[in-house]
A = this chain, B = another copy of it.
Amino acid sequence: MKKSDRFEQGWNKLLETQGEAGVRTMEYLRETAPDLVKYVIEFPFGDVYTRPGLDLKTREIAAVAALTAMGNAAPQLKAHIQGALNVGCTRQEVIEIIVQMATFAGFPAAVNGMLAAKDVFEKRDKKKQGNR
C-alpha cells in the first residue's frame, strides 16, 4: 500500500507527540483494523495536528482538557499527557489543566484525570532512572 502524504505527516506527528507508546497502540490494532489505524494517522495526526493555527503545546493542552472532562478514555488521556510533556508542557501545567476541569466536569473527572497524570509521571521517572 502506497502511503499518502497525509499518512507520512501524521506518522511523524504521532511520533513527535506520543512517542513509542503511541506507535505501539497503532501496531497493536493494525492487524485487526488496518483502516482505523490509517484514519487515526491521516485525520487527527495528519490533517489536524499539522495545522499551523495553534502550536503543538496548545493543542496538547486542549487535548488533556477535553479528555479529562469527557472522563471515559483513560488510555488516550494518558497518551496526550505524555504528548503534552513531550512537546514542552511542564508537569505543573498539566496539573493546572486537570484541576481546572473540576469546575467544568466535576471532581470525579478531575481526580481520575489526576490519577492518570500521576501514573504517567511515575512511568517517566522510572524510565529516566532506568536510562541512567
Contacts and interface: CB of A to CB of B under 8 A. Distances in A.
A43 B40 contact: no
Chain A interface, DSSP helix/strand/loop, else mixed: helix
Nearest to A59: B100
Contacts of A102: 36, 39, 48, 106
Interface string A58-84: 110111111111111101100000000
**Total copies of the chain:** 6
Given A53-B93, A92-B53, A106-B104, A99 B63 contact: no
B97 A62 contact: yes
A18 B12 CA distance: 36
B66 A105 contact: yes
Given A28-B115, A67-B108, 6 more contacts: A29-B115, A53-B95, A61-B62, A63-B104, A65-B69, A71-B72
